[in-house]
Structure 1
Amino acid sequence: MMYLMFNNKAYFSSWARMRCSVLSVFVFYALIASASRYPMPSELTLAVETDKKVKADAVVAADGTGNFTTVQAAINAAPDNRNTYFYIYIKRGSYKEVITIPKNKDYIYLYGEDAEYTILTFDNYAKRLKPDGTEFGTSGSATFFANGNFFVAENLTFANTAGMTAGQALAINIGGARSSFRNCRFLGHQDTWYAGSGTFQYLKDCYIEGSVDFIFGGSTAFFDECHIQSTRNGYITAASTPEGQSFGYIFHSCSITAYPTVAHGSVYLGRPWRPYAKVVFLQSSLGKHIRSEGWDNWRNVANESTAFYAEYNSTGEGASPGTRVAWSHQLTRKQATDYTYAKAMGSQHPGFVDDGVAMK
């Protein structure tokens, strides 16, 4: 069934509504363009979506009422080298396991019953010793490793429960080239969410919490209407955007908050893990925990000439354009149009099933 899409949103819900005149379509576009959540030009595109729930290929249930009792077992059951989606429905429950989607298992779609109560969790951390006596290391500490391409997750919690004093402890490590997340939660403290250089992620209506550098890596990621929460003083982002990569992290219409225990003016928007880090906040609400200077150079003045840190139309008690570090940017409306969803992300990520995934 055809749908008219604007900024990846459906505005007509049936084929019948598409049977309008060309003139009506242009009039409709003019109206919604003026009311868009972006006060800037955008694109009108067509997309094809289904209007029925997809039947799961596998059901995971901790209580034994599904095909599998662990998420990893369901992933292992997916055929290798697929070019169509393998849908896994995960019932409510806490699944304590280290989960890996290998590189040879593309097109895995995980669909949780409820984001708050469908929890994928473990408690490894960087300094923890493996059975062979070596440390897990930062990248190896993750609860979930998403190495397959075209991975999609909905309604899930990815958690690392090692604790605030454990140091680096990832909830997720994303190595697959393209992935999407909707209504997912990522819980941890230091280094919660990581994605490798050259990869693309789209996150819609997600929640990410942490303390230090808890969104980090070299990927292109678009955080769309997400909730970003600090658990203590620290740094939200630690981008390592490769030199020459057009985009790093873009936070669009996000809510940036903190636990009530976090002191006012104690959290930076980011610091560059590597030179050429790129982070942009568009029309986001910033809490009073954000420091007035906004950004940190990671004790390296040279980073100030390579990093691109910018805001457009920030609001809230943490919005303070007049006090930001001199080497950051306050974008004009015209400049902000370079960071729209269409330009930065577009078709670089897999789509979602509009009506969800149903159990068999």
Structure 2
Amino acid sequence: MLVVASLLAAVFAFAAPKPDTVVAADGSGDYTSLQEAISKAPMKTDPATPRWVIFVKAGTYTERIYVQRERGNIHVIGEDARKTVVAYHLNANLLGEDGKPIGTFRTPTVQIDGDGMLWENITLANTAGPVGQALALRADGDRLEFRKVRFLGWQDTILVNRGRHYFEDCYIEGHVDFIFGAATAFFNRCHIHVLRNGYITAASTPKDTAHGYVFADCKITGAEGVLAYLGRPWRDFAKTVFLRTDMSAAVRPEGWNNWNKPPAEATTFYAEFGSTGPGANDAARVKWAKPLTAEQAAALTPAAVLGGEDGWNPAVRP
């Protein structure tokens, strides 16, 4: 009986929270637009207060989403990760009102400036296709969480621009630099899928920053015949680590690329530990990648990587 009680307690502890508002494309909710629901959410930025919960019913929401800093403390939860889709189609080569290309940073389907947001059970997509840089997500807030979220795109799918971010049980696809930026991010049990030959990560970790990206217990797959690098340094002090990751043959034997910047080989921190599969070829890796000991790998927990001054540990749900 004690075991059953413990299991029931665990189930109810992670039950979906009661929504404060409902978004439904068919008009059966409070709003038909997710952006409208976010814009009408209260300005609750204190992380000690409960998040404002927005439930999004299954449907395709063709819109761009912007979350301002004053409305960050929000939980967006979809009805079904595959059937609840937020999608848009901007790409960097489109011309703006000034007649010039809008550039990468103005293309995101979802842009988050607010802190403390949680997205769960939903798809965020940029549907522009293989036409250049086209972001599904631009993350500029701090303490952002993504759980069971599907990120769809091609080039530059996810920009983790600054702050600390946690991804758990997510699916992320692309083909060139499709996880990039200067933030500190932890990817826990995520599925990374490579669509064409390219590069999975392009970190721009600032100098003297303790951590860049950590991928733990993840899986890397690719389309047939695809070959991809684990990463290349957008900036010279890029930091990216893969721990206990199942790597298919889509991962190139050499693993890492210096982006035609030989000096970056001495300043980057690219490391692996305990990975498996045909793409986990320690003997063939570039010599400037860093080996990790079991002790060093064990120390790279979400709490250690993301804790910061406030001791944030998103791996433990309240």
TM-score where L is the length of structure 1: 0.81
- Quick one: distance in 1 between partners of 2:128 and 2:234? 23
Residue 67 of structure 1, aligned match among 23, 30, 40: 30
Aligned partner of residue 311 in structure 1, secondary structure: strand
1:200 equivalent in structure 2: 164
Map Cα deviations across residues 159-205 of structure 1 (whole Å, 9 max, x no partner).
001011x10000000010110011000000000011113x1111110
Map Cα deviations across residues 94-116 of structure 1 (whole Å, 9 max, x no partner).
00001100111120110000000
Greater gyration radius: 1
Equivalent runs, 1:126-141 vs 2, <5 Å: 126-141=92-107
2:143 equivalent in structure 1: 178
Q: Conserved in 2, the CA contact under 8 Å of 1:180 and 1:351?
A: no
Map Cα deviations across residues 128-166 of structure 1 (whole Å, 9 max, x no partner).
1224434321111110001110010000100001011x1
- Quick one: distance in 2 between partners of 1:315 and 1:220? 25
Deviation at 1:221, TM superposition (A): 0.7
- Quick one: distance in 2 between partners of 1:129 and 1:74? 29
2:129 equivalent in structure 1: 163
1:228 aligns with 2:192: yes
- Quick one: distance in 2 between partners of 1:329 and 1:97? 42
Deviation at 1:123, TM superposition (A): 0.3
Q: Which moved more, 1:129-138 or 1:211-220?
A: 129-138
- Quick one: distance in 1 between partners of 2:142 and 2:100? 28
- Quick one: distance in 2 between partners of 1:160 and 1:249? 22
2:291 equivalent in structure 1: 330
Deviation at 1:345, TM superposition (A): 2.5
2:248 equivalent in structure 1: 287
- Structure 1, gaps ≥5 residues long: 1-10, 18-48, 355-360
1:278 aligns with 2:239: yes
Aligned partner of residue 38 in structure 2, secondary structure: helix
CA RMSD of aligned residues (A): 2.0
Identity %: 45
Aligned partner of residue 71 in structure 2, secondary structure: coil
Deviation at 1:339, TM superposition (A): 1.4
Q: 1:139 to 1:352 in 2, by over 3 A?
A: farther
- Quick one: distance in 1 between partners of 2:81 and 2:317? 16
1:25 equivalent in structure 2: none
| Structure 2 letter corresponding to 1:101 | V
Pick 1 or 2: higher relative contact order, CA cutoff 8 A, min separation 6.
1
Equivalent runs, 1:1-360 vs 2, <5 Å: 12-13=6-7, 50=13, 53-83=16-46, 84=49, 85-164=51-130, 166-197=131-162, 199-260=163-224, 262-263=225-226, 266-346=227-307, 347-348=311-312
| Structure 1 letter corresponding to 2:160 | A
Q: 1:113 to 1:134 in 2, by over 3 A?
A: same
1:29 equivalent in structure 2: none
- Quick one: distance in 1 between partners of 2:173 and 2:139? 17
TM-score where L is the length of structure 2: 0.92
Q: 1:351 to 1:72 in 2, by over 3 A?
A: farther
- Quick one: distance in 2 between partners of 1:193 and 1:96? 18
